[in-house]
Structure 1
């Protein structure tokens, strides 16, 4: 039996975040699993993912959405997210949504049509009932009516069930919502009319106790008024909670309320909600809307709202309302200046850096305090940098320094931002790296003098790590990452886990792959447990990378597949890494077909930045050389050249050094020995302190450029790779060893190649397995069994048949399948 959950929209709550989905979220909030965190999450995508996980733990689910035209944007986005996630994971979920024609209805229908196949999405447009159906409904509701009266009432209602029921209840009055309300209230008390007005303006179900409080009534008086409305069919009461029977009734009643009475109700409802809201962003947003509609000062309430821990749930409409209220303040109004500052911070957190920039510049223009103006310009610089406008960011930093230069903490933050600009801009990076190191030293001293510098110190450690990464300074990378993790523990858990992930990258570079893998697995588990989907995605990228390097290809495939599903829901915002296309390409290289992997990687490289392109061309060269050998030499040379051009333009010394070594490895495998030796010599001159992984790759290249390749050096390189945990490199090196032994020791060559084929097959490295088997067949060793006459084709025979059907030539089939 499927679990059922309802999402109901109300017109005035359309701008209140998650108002329509509030009942669903409350129902899912529980003591364990993702539901245990729903109440504390402040970022929409975290709420979406936690809801998806909580529903997945329940089993088959039906989500019912009513009055879709009034569903708020975040609840609407949640519906789309749940359907998209269910489609990606195969979890059973049905969404049934009903509403009048509207933008929300059209938007959801269009988006679902892009996610689901046509056979799994349907739209039913309900028109009026046919005349005989309308007459049947009238007779069911009013069996005492004569045939002529029933036919006339069905005709007046135009076949619409709502109006049929309404006219039956009012004795056949005109089909107009305003007249319907008037007719139903005829003879009712003044209290009944006041209650209709309250429900229409509040536009939300109200408990009887709240009705009594808002109108200053006793409980008995409120209950009597409720009974009047329920009896007349204007309202529906359930468990001491009252709401109007239909939004058409609410709209009609609202139009008839005098402006003075409407303003007074908005004021009362706004004040009541503000009193009970606490930090609840939904109630604060609703209260702000009522007070603003009443024309009352909303500055204090807006400041409370923008300071709520869940403020990032406000979304675009909430942000726009806050901007409007901030602009209504006078230029020198202190509350308005404070609100502008907070709105700028909120806009940045929501990724609306254009709005953040506008708010910060407005604050800098209006504020008289030099230090505050300087801080506003620093915020403007950060927003400009986020928008990709480095020149504007530098200008705002300079203006900030000129405005106020006598604050050590501000000067530190300005230097941190300057260092980030220099590190990742187009100009030479040396000044940025020096400034990053100096900023970290000063930040440490300021933090030791007081906790106020904790945030800037965390940022200083981040840019120090980035500078050390560019310089390949592993000791500083590890120290900065671990110091940052310790500093953030208990202060900012996401920053703590992010720093742990950064330290794992440094450990991998130092040759401590097992430690890096263990630490990354821990971050991945924690990120999923805490519903931090973006951090989980980052951790999955590095976990997949380390699993591949450990020759655990099948496990990496599972991690990457799960991460791609998550990325399809939240987007792949690569932070300090490539997108998952790069990792998925490598999985394809080993699991699907080496040429498929290379082609996918190169397609991804076409849209990459210069900095990212260095590694992508380097990988393409290496994969082509490993799988294609000397037949791919021209392609290898082209990719190495493209990588060098990107490295020169990027100006990153670490990338330039790594390209020399990995390029030498690729050139050596492609048979370009002279070019490989030259590239290796360049790397040796550039890298005075090779890391452990560099050393065994260097040993492998030196062996491959020798003629003949010395088996002892390749054996030693393979052993070093295994000791460091880089089992995939060890497999490739033993494949080289088996090839090198072919001329001098065929029996041992067969044993080495057979062991590689076995290990590669067990780990899921199909490309390595097939290459090993190809070389074994060159020794006359049969590596697959021929199918019996008339029997089912083997997997290999089917692969050959598919390639023949695709028009591949014999040489192309041989290269693709290593025949």
Structure 2
């Protein structure tokens, strides 16, 4: 008798071994994930099934199936299926106990299981990440008792919420006896899909194994056909099977099982015919039931099938048995599932127009009847009503799904349902009554949800429509819309926020005092603050504080005091600023939004003041709360950067780097991720990996420059990073162009952020002097380096009030001292080293200053002193992972000579010449040795003849040579 499916798994031995190896690692206490990709029909489900059958009885297997409802996939659908299975396995009470302190969030996910389960707090208080924590806690605690294997199939259909949760589980669970197995169709990864964007991150995770299933070769197709037929196939027929299926196992199985390879003429002609071959052999009643099941999806519960089917229970069982015997359906727990999704798709295409309407209507009605008791998601009901072309019911279900998704922080689904409701609005006469809100309100709410889902561009489009429909006479609503649009623009780095907020204030003019007006004033103050317009920001914050006081609103008073405090502090009035920030902290107690804003600005202030340990502690407290509240990608991203930056300043490079990589994985909007990206580029450059720093910067440069137009901190931070990259490439002119923002006559001083840029500008200026290069002012007109130095020192004077200024000032003085102001005075560099070691300066300044001291000593001929300073620089740099300085020290030691000799030795060797001469002078000496005149040297090096003459004079003086010929002789000897 011929088999209806292949009795053996062919060509997947290595893939099965990979799964077993991953399970063994998980059993040993190291969480693993296996990602199985391949085209439709390649055998992903079969491979997973074979693996699961081989597991020991102690393993708990949880399976979830992504729903193929396109954009209407219910949020968390495959995860909920797995959790419900777990509840059946361990008991509902044990499931909730395993969730620990997050049981309220688990109750939000599984409301149908909460009957009789006391939930003390409202589940909405934690945000989306609290839901994530609940699932992670459950899996970790259950896995501590028995190993767990979580299988989620067809990830290409997965809803965004489930994908985000899976990403979280894979990232945070490390030491549990948990194996996560995910399957997806690699040929259905559309551009812009969440899974496609996630794959590179998973590939970088050392706990994730990627398995890509290949097609079978001819030998393997023969092996499969033989196993099905119980005898080897005819070679001509085998050739036809191999040609028509191209080695895709499911198609091989269908073709051989259905045709028996008895006659080439009997082979189905098309892929559709192959998929429907078994279906076509069934009775009409069985086919009709399969079409009904296909309308419900890949998997339909028996109870639901009974509800939507007109047939008797006996007829249903008979039809199902026939389909199961033909291997079209399989039994999956209490449900019927198609053996392969491709078959379901082909059968669904067979639905007649009348059947499509009837079947989807029945599903919608039955799911609606069950929704109260069984946790049915309204998105599925909306999907079926849409498929049934019932606009009114689809609108009602979409509104319900929108509200349901918002309540569970499933913002992507809420946005989809909100937009669908908006699209259907004009087709439903009593839409406002059914929705319980006006169209303007729905547009506003949906735009907010889109913003939370990371779709700020789409949010702006909807808020614009709401503004166009809103009556300006409704001052409160109109002003709120303007305020929201200002926020969305800022999130994605677009201008216009200040103008919109000022317009909102005009709209509210003459209205009674209100929380909204306090809000608008506070937000306007915040925007002015980040533009370093501190006096204006303080004035607006004063107004916001007065308004909030009048309406007795502590959170808005906190925000106003917060912005006023940071503006005062950033402008130089540090004591008053800290006092205002402290008041903001007191007023924020009991309001998470205000507390998060307090933590952001307080931690930033402490970091900028050089109080790094306090900054880390404050920002960590805030970042944890942001994670709990579900705003890890917005406020949480800023707070994480406020943890990472002082960690680097403390020299805790490894810890900072690990946190930075995790924070970047959140892929926060540019308004929140820009500081993280700048930190990453600078950290990589500090590490000495110029090439990687350049690649990162090229990828992020556009968004960083866009953000720099809206934020002075971003502008100054970008100028520093991009200037340092240009300097590392040896492009001094380009580096100066980047830092010349300092000498823009229109710029506003921001001392804390100015100081690092001023120090670097001094470095660039000194380097330009060494090479005799001409630089330009902000107006692009050539300026003398002496004039530019005056402007740099003017910027330093404006920043002198800042606590970290002494350390930077010492470095700036050293950069601009020495002969011709080229930064070669050892005494001043020793002073810079001392200043950089006072504990308030960032850790990177000391090794840099020590290296520059070594260079200055070498330039003065003190080789022994240079070697000692270089070794100090190396030790300090290695301690904080500053490979850039380590590499520079290595090069300097090569030039100076690592051991032996002192500054009195004759300068006739290469090391001595390299130590004595600048890079430009070495180039000039090489040309002198070739017999070139000063004029010819000038032509070769694109400098003036006078400059070439000065270089030659310096060479003769430094080497002790009396003639050009003697200098050329020294050069020739040093090259041997």
Q: TM-score, normalised by structure 2?
A: 0.59
Question: Which of the residues 384, 409, 412 maps onto 1:310?
Answer: 409
Task: Pick the aligned partner of 1:760 from 868, 877, 882.
Answer: 877
Q: Is 1:614 the equivalent of 2:705?
A: no
Task: Give the stretch that moved more between structures: 337-346 or 108-117.
Answer: 108-117
Match of 2:609 among 501, 506, 510: 510
Q: 2:541 aligns with which of 420, 437, 444?
A: 437
Q: Is this contact kept in 2: 1:271–1:291, CA < 8 A?
A: no
Match of 2:511 among 402, 406, 423: 406
C-alpha displacement of 1:654: 0.7
Aligned to 1:791: none
Distance change >3 Å, CA 120–CA 469, structure 1 → 2: same
Aligned to 1:654: 750
- Rate the CA distance shift 1:462–1:198 in 2: closer, same or farther, 3 A: farther
SS at match of 2:384: helix
Matching residue of 1:549 = 649
Q: Distance in 1 between matches of 2:220 and 2:808?
A: 80
**Aligned pair in 2 of structure 1 residues 654, 215: CA closer, same or farther (>3 Å)?**
same
**Is 1:272 the equivalent of 2:272?**
no
Give the corresponding residue for 1:682.
794
Query: Which one of 343, 352, 363 corresponds to residue 455 of structure 2?
Result: 352
1:692 match: secondary structure: coil
Cα distance in 2 for partners of 1:268, 1:196 equals 19
Cα drift, residue 314 of structure 1? 0.9
Structure 1 residue 312, shift from structure 2 partner: 0.7
1:803 match: none
What corresponds to 2:335 in structure 1? 241
Mark the CA change 1:691 to 1:328 in structure 2 (over 3 Å): closer, same or farther. Answer: same
Say yes or no: does 1:286 pair with 2:380: yes
Query: SS at 1:340's partner residue?
Result: helix
Question: Does residue 47 of structure 2 align to residue 19 of structure 1?
Answer: no
Is 1:8 matched up with 2:102?
no
| Equivalent in the alignment of 1:591 | 687
Structure 2 Cα separation of the partners of residues 776 and 173 of structure 1? 77
Q: Is the counterpart of residue 724 in structure 1 residue 848 in structure 2?
A: no
Worse-superposed segment, 63-72 or 430-439: 63-72
Q: Which whole-Å CA distance do the structure 1 matches of 2:674 and 2:879 have between them?
A: 28
Q: 1:491 to 1:286 in 2, by over 3 A?
A: farther
CA contact (8 A) 2:846 2:876 kept: no
Relative to structure 1, the CA distance from residue 644 to residue 470 in structure 2 (aligned partners, 3 Å threshold; closer, same or farther) is: farther
Equivalence map 1:698-713=2 (5 Å): 698-702=809-813, 711=827
Moved more, 255-264 or 340-349: 255-264
Q: 1:352-403 CA distances to partner (integer Å, 9 max, x unpaired)?
A: 3454344445445266855334433443454455566645973686377447
CA distance in 2, matches of 1:107, 1:578: 23
In structure 2, the residue matched to 1:696 is: 807
8 Å contact 1:69–1:102 — kept in the other structure? yes
In 2, Cα distance between equivalents of 1:768 and 1:542: 25
Counterpart residue number, 1:146 = none
Query: What is the CA–CA distance in structure 1 between the aligned matches of 2:154 and 2:848, rounded to whole Å?
Result: 61
Q: Deviations over 1:66-95 (max 9, x none)?
A: 567755566678889999999xxxx99875
Q: Does the 8 Å contact 2:451/2:459 carry over to 1?
A: yes
8 A Cα contact 1:206 1:243, kept in partner: yes
SS in 2 for 1:232: helix
Q: Deviations over 1:695-749 (max 9, x none)?
A: 2332454467666969599559725743336443334445566777897999888
* Alignment partners' CA distance in 1, 2:218 and 2:372: 45
**1:563 Cα deviation from its structure 2 partner:** 3.0
Bigger shift: 370-379 or 735-744? 735-744
Deviation at 1:203? 3.3
Deviates more, 1:131-140 or 1:759-768: 131-140
Unmatched segments (≥5 aa) in structure 2: 1-19, 24-47, 49-61, 87-94, 110-122, 232-239, 245-249, 261-265, 770-784, 819-823, 902-910, 912-922, 927-970, 972-976
SS in 1 for 2:408: coil
* Counterpart mapping for 1:661-680 below 5 A: 661-662=758-759, 665-666=762-763, 670=767, 678-679=790-791
8 Å contact from structure 1 (residues 322, 343) kept in 2: no
Give the equivalent residue in structure 1 for 2:54.
none
C-alpha change, 1:72 and 1:353, in structure 2 (3 Å) is: closer
Higher mean C-alpha displacement, 698-707 vs 499-508: 698-707
Deviation at 1:643, TM superposition (A): 2.0
Deviation string 1:489-542 (CA, Å, 9 cap, x unpaired) is 65437x745642432221122232232244445556777788836666545544
Change (3 A) 1:62 1:717: same
CA RMSD of aligned residues (A): 6.2
Q: Give the Cα–Cα distance (whole angstroms) in 1 for the partners of residues 155 and 581 of structure 2.
A: 48
SS in 2 for 1:333: helix
Q: Aligned partners of 2:696, 2:360: CA distance in 1, in Å?
A: 62
Q: Residues 213-246 of structure 1, C-alpha deviation per residue, up to 9 Å, x if partnerless?
A: 77899xxx75x55533332226544543344665
Q: Which residue of 2 aligns with 1:394?
A: 499
In the TM superposition, what is the alpha-carbon distance from 1:694 to its structure 2 partner?
0.5
C-alpha distance after superposition, 1:624-674 (max 9, x if no partner): 99x99xxx8xx6676345423466287332168537842575368659695
SS of 1:722 mapped into structure 2: coil
Helix, strand or coil at the partner of 1:691: coil
Structure 1 pair 112/34, CA: closer, same or farther in 2 (3 Å)? Answer: farther
C-alpha displacement at 1:271, in angstroms? 1.8
Q: Is the CA contact 1:538–1:574 (under 8 Å) kept in the aligned structure 2?
A: no
CA–CA separation in structure 1 for the residues paired with 2:726 and 2:426: 59
Listed one character per residue, the Cα deviations across residues 600-632 of structure 1 (whole Å, up to 9, x for unaligned) are 87997786335445344446767999x99xxx8
Residue pair 1:405, 1:411 contacting (<8 A) in 2 also: no
- TM-score normalized by the length of structure 1: 0.68
Report if aligned partners of 1:735, 1:753 keep a CA contact under 8 Å in 2: yes
Evaluate the alpha carbon distance shift between residue 254 and residue 329 of structure 1 in structure 2; reply closer, same or farther with a 3 A threshold: same
State the partner residue of 1:563: 660
Q: 1:182-221 counterparts in 2 under 5 A?
A: 184=282, 199-203=293-297, 205-208=299-302
Counterpart of 1:322 (choices 421, 437, 440) is 421
In the alignment, is the contact (CA less than 8 A) between 2:524 and 2:537 conserved in 1? Answer: no
Contact 1:43 1:310 in 2 (8 A): yes
- Segment drifting more, 264-273 vs 459-468: 459-468
User: Within the alignment, does 1:343 sit opposite 2:446 as a pair?
Assistant: yes
- Flag the 1:139–1:27 CA change in 2: closer, same or farther, 3 A: same
Aligned-partner SS, 2:323: coil
Name the CA shift for 1:485/1:229 in 2 (closer, same or farther; >3 Å): farther
Following the alignment from structure 2 to structure 1, what is the Cα–Cα distance between the partners of residues 876 and 497?
55
Structure 1 residues 308, 103: closer, same or farther in 2, change over 3 A? same
Would the aligned equivalents of 2:493 and 2:671 in 1 still touch at CA under 8 Å?
Answer: no
Aligned pair count reads: 739
Q: Is the Cα–Cα contact under 8 Å of residues 505 and 516 in structure 1 kept in the other structure?
A: yes
Q: Kindly tell me: are residues 128 and 536 of structure 1, through their superposed partners in 2, closer, same or farther at Cα, counting changes over 3 Å?
A: farther
Rounded Cα–Cα distance in structure 1 between residues aligned with 2:219 and 2:101: 45
Q: Partners of 1:775 and 1:135 in 2: how far apart?
A: 70
